[in-house]
Structure 1
Amino acid sequence: MKDAALYLIPTTLGDTPVNQVLPSYNLRITSDLRHFIVENVRTARRFLKQCNPEIDIDSLAFYELNEHTDRHRISAYLKPIRQGESVGIISEAGCPAIADPGADVVAIAQSERIKVVPLVGPSSLLMAMMASGFNGQSFAFHGYLPIESGERIKTLKKLENRVYSENQTQLFIETPYRNKKLAEDILQHCKPQTLLCIAMNISCEDEYIATRPVKAWKGNLPDMHKKPCVFLIYR
């Protein structure tokens, strides 16, 4: 790699073989890097071993970035780049910096005019959008909806209004153990004719993606407990 850069390295979305969802170019780049910014060191080490079983894990430097990280320390994670060595960001699942703390690092890199290189890989949001049958020309991702019931219901209704007033697909996610509760709120508070797509375990062996009117989902929800899901609503 000629110029030092910040590489955004997508990971698998589950127990999917890396060669099924990641280009060989990614694996070559990953094997050449010696510095990684990661959410969890243990899972990052496992992912790198899957990419290259011969990689010397103990020779690599890992910088942890998650909800416990002091944000004042993040800039120091880019020190290798300032000294001429590239750094990679690895998310827990999918693409870094999308609903992911890696965005904070990318923002610093951009402000310092450091070269940022996004690598090709699976994005649960885009893959769900592709398979939903919904409007792919205008869509919005809202991350996690409020935990408090009243606020969540208010937000759901606001997003549904945007579906009808703006002809815009609305995407959101939930912590896997709260998937069922969110789905039940959608069924209870959205219009019967509103379309709901549930995209679960995308790219994995038990992938499930289905679009139905809200009224058709009632009594027919799949088992979503502890499974990564993307929820989409449209008209």
Structure 2
Amino acid sequence: MAENAFKYSGRLFLIPTTLGNENPLDVIPEKVKNILEGLNDLIVENEKTARRHIKQLLPEKNQQALNLQSLNKFTEAIELPTFLNACKKGLDIGLMSEAGCPGVADPGAEIVKIAHREGIQVVPLVGPSSILLAMMASGMNGQCFSFHGYLPIDKKERKQEIKFLERLSAEKNQAQIFIETPYRNNKMLEDLVQNLHPETRICVACDLTLASEFVITKTASDWKKTKTDLHKRPAIFIIQKEF
């Protein structure tokens, strides 16, 4: 049976976190809280924010007992396999994203890949994913969509990429999803409006799960008439041109 395929008894739990400063219990299921309560070994992007999230969710948990390993752009690739040593000793480990779900637009995917290679069971837990929440509320093709991460910063390359994604959306009837650094969000929307066909639909999903949340889908021509400030606000962009 499949469960006998795992080499070690220790498991890797993928722990979702909030997308902002909302009450964790508004978006994090009780099961995640219960599992996190039993974990002391965690792989995190940022120790400070990870401790704050754990304290919000489990105020009574002993913070001094936590063994946190940092996984970010400064982590050497050669270090990564050692992060799962506790699993090989029979202990469960949690992998926690900075925001949302681990392994999705997140460096934790490398740890998950190693876990599969080493025969360690990977257990995904339910939590907020900005990509899926945006797709759900966009009114675009939820049967066929593609996530591209960040688009090029160079103006010429970005214009080419926007045009390419628009063609792709029409040819495949496929929604195209991407993100931007929050302080460049306004410029992103401006570039989309300027470079897309007037009837191409643009969805902007901003501050998902927060009190200030909005998800709006309009044509490029309608967005041109709309004033909105996305500066330093987490946002997802989706485009789709009718085929």
| TM category, shorter | over 0.9
Matches within 5 A, 1:132-211: 132-211=138-217
Q: Which of the numbers 69, 80, 98 marks the counterpart of 1:74?
A: 80
What is the distance in 2 between the residues matched to 1:119 and 1:234? Answer: 30
The letter of the residue matching 1:132 is S
Distance 2:227 2:193 in 1: 10
Question: How far has the Cα of 1:222 moved from its partner?
Answer: 1.5
Give the deviation of 1:221 after TM superposition: 3.8
Match of 1:111 among 114, 117, 123: 117
Please give the alpha-carbon distance, in whole angstroms, between the structure 2 residues aligned to 1:98 and 1:213.
28
**Given the alignment of the two structures, is residue 224 of structure 1 paired with residue 240 of structure 2, yes or no?**
no
CA contact (8 A) 2:100 2:128 kept: yes
Aligned length: 234
Deviations 1:76-107, CA, capped at 9 Å, x for gaps: 10000001111101111000010100000000
Q: 2:103 aligns with which of 97, 101, 105?
A: 97
- Kindly provide the CA deviation profile for residues 170-219 of structure 1, in whole angstroms up to 9, marking residues without a partner as x: 00000101111111110000000000000001011100110000000114
Q: Which amino acid aligns with 2:24?
A: V
* 2:14/2:124 contact within 8 Å kept: yes
| Structure 2 residue 22 is the aligned partner of structure 1 residue 55 | no
Amino acid at match of 1:16: E
In 1, are the aligned partners of 2:9 and 2:120 still within 8 Å (CA)?
Answer: no
Structure 1 position 3, deviation (Å): 4.0
Where 1:233 maps in the other structure, the secondary structure is strand
| d(CA) in 2 for partners of 1:3, 1:55 | 24
Q: Determine what percentage of the aligned residue pairs are the same residue.
A: 46
> How much does 1:74 deviate?
0.8
Gaps of 5+ in 2: 1-7
1:43 to 45, 49, 56: 49
CA RMSD of aligned residues (A): 1.0
Question: Which segments of structure 1 move beyond 2 Å, counting only runs of 4 or more?
Answer: none
